Amino acid sequence: MKARMTNPATVLPETMPAIQELIKAVKKGGVPESILELVHLRASQINGCGFCVDLGAREAKKGGMSDERLHSVAAWREAPYFSDAERAALALAEAATRLADRSDPVPDDVWDEAADHFDEQQLASIILWIATTNFFNRINVTVKQPAGVTGW
């Protein structure tokens, strides 16, 4: 497999510092890295971004996430491996990624559950991480970035 083109952020390298600063800032929002990894993995699964699913799973595994949790992210509602806070973050990630799927894309019950587990700074971090993941997914899917290949 081969990408259609070099990663756009590499073609326009002046974008990289801004992208890297955004990632650093989001990760300072007080959300456990494991939750950000779950959010990234779930949004990437929904968007069909093989590159991000592969990279996200490898990073989560490196960070100590169990195989059971990694293998169950797509079916998190039925799996016993996730805390209530993780479930709230996963539900928010799904809703904010699937904006066109319903007339009220992020319903109050999804928001309220997330707000029960995370303060405003943490919610900001999760929302920005969902948006950043969707940003990466859209780039990688568009250029057909293959999984397992460095592109960022």
Q: Identify how many contiguous H helices and E strands the chain contains and give both numbers.
A: 8, 0
27-to-21, 59, 127 alpha-carbon distances in Å: 10, 14, 12
CA dihedral 58, 38, 49, 8 (to 10 degrees): -80
128-148 pLDDT, tens digit each = 999 999 999 999 999 999 998
Contact 36, 27 (CB under 8 A): yes
Instruction: Identify the CA nearest to 6 among candidates 55, 133, 16, 41.
Output: 16
Which percentage of the chain shows pLDDT scores above 70? 98
pLDDT for the residue numbered 1: 83
Instruction: Identify the CA nearest to 93 among candidates 28, 32, 44, 29.
Output: 44
Residue 152 has pLDDT above 70, yes or no: no
44-71 pLDDT, tens digit each = 999 999 999 999 999 999 999 999 999 9
Q: Which domains does the chain have, with CATH numbers?
A: 29-142 (1.20.1290.10)
pLDDT for the residue numbered 151: 52
- Strand residue runs (E) in 32-97: none
pLDDT for the residue numbered 55: 96
Angle at CA of residue 94, ends 89 and 126, nearest 5°: 40
Q: What is the mean pLDDT of the chain?
A: 96
Residue 150 has pLDDT above 80, yes or no: no
Report the alpha-carbon distance of residue 138 to residue 132 in Å, rounded: 10
